[in-house]
């Protein structure tokens, strides 16, 4: 994260207390966001000056809402527990129960994009939201909602299926047997490859985005789930909308990860599970 010299930081003015705590209740309204915008987001000189001269809450109140259209479904949610919250986070992630509203099994994960607690220097909180909420619907449980009771300004969010298990980045590889580590890596490679076969290029297969469920110490009950598709794209080439360029990447054809990953630039190892 790039730290920006905002008004509150420069003048040592605290922000409002964090609302995303156990027991907090709020209402959300169904919302259909615009298509993701594939471009770089930079603050203009005037916007950068405003960030250094205006309280962050005043800027949130003055910010125009994200374009898109409203749906008809309304839910009332109650936070069961915080998963990852705090100032400086890209999003506030909490586990919620549906107090009222039909058609949903609880608990759900709510991922809220609150600009009050993430004053990004490039102002790309909303693009991150639209990228995830426009992920193919079969990968999301409930679609996209928008909070309607938050300090008099709207906060965008998405609701996702809660996946029980452990995030891979919290696990210690030396507690796993070598056969179990091998089984974990095989499942990760298989899931990623099947997504790629269906022309979904997942660009962020990092440990924090992999949930591991296991009911014993062997590999027979092992289950791997990928979460967070913010950086995924529908297509294999750098420009999927260019049919000629996309055809060079053999869309729809299974390609072994051994071929695709060999000396791939930018690929990060998945901790010590690979050894």
Residue list for the binding site:
111
Are 199 and 236 in contact by the 8 Å Cβ rule? The answer is yes
Are 233 and 246 in contact by the 8 Å Cβ rule? The answer is no
Residue 68's nearest CA partner among 6, 158, 140, 141 is 158
Question: What is the CA angle 72-77-78, rounded to 5?
Answer: 175
Are 110 and 83 in contact by the 8 Å Cβ rule? The answer is no
Q: How far apart are CA 25 and CA 76, in angstroms?
A: 7
Residues annotated in a binding site for ATP: 111
Residue 272's nearest CA partner among 207, 192, 188, 205 is 207
What DSSP line would sit under 21-74, residue for residue? STT-EEEEEEEEPPPPP-S-----HHHHHHHHHS-HHHHHHHSPPPSSEEEEEE
Q: Which residue has the tokens 């008004």?
A: 7
Q: Which residues pair with 159 in a beta bridge?
A: 110
Are 160 and 112 in contact by the 8 Å Cβ rule? The answer is no
Residue 80's nearest CA partner among 141, 142, 162 is 162
């Amino acid at each position: 994260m790039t730290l920006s010299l905002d008004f509150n930081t420069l003048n040592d003015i605290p922000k409002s207390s964090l609302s995303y705590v156990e027991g907090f209740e709020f209402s959300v309204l169904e919302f259909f966001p615009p298509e993701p915008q594939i471009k770089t987001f930079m603050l203009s000189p005037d916007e950068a000056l405003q960030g250094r001269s205006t309280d962050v809450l005043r800027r949130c109140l003055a910010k125009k809402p994200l374009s898109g259209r409203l749906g008809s479904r309304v839910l009332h949610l109650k936070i069961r527990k915080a998963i990852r919250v705090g100032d400086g986070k890209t999003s506030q992630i909490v586990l919620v129960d549906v107090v009222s509203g039909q058609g949903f099994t609880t608990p759900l994960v709510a991922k809220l994009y609150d600009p009050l607690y993430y004053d990004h220097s490039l102002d790309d909180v909303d693009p991150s939201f639209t990228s995830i909420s426009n992920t193919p619907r079969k990968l999301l449980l409930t679609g996209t909602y928008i909070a309607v009771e938050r300090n008099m300004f709207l906060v965008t969010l998405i609701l996702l299926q809660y996946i029980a298990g452990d995030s891979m980045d919290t696990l210690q590889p030396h507690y796993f047997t070598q056969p179990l580590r091998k089984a974990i890596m095989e499942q990760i490679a298989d899931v990623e490859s099947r997504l790629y076969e269906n022309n979904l290029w997942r660009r962020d297969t990092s440990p924090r985005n992999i949930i591991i469920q296991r009911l014993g110490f062997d590999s027979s009950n092992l289950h791997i789930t990928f979460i967070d598709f913010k950086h995924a794209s529908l297509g294999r080439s750098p420009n999927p909308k260019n049919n000629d360029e996309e055809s060079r990447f053999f869309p729809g054809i299974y390609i072994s990860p051994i071929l695709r990953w060999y000396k791939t630039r930018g690929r990060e190892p998945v901790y010590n599970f690979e050894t």
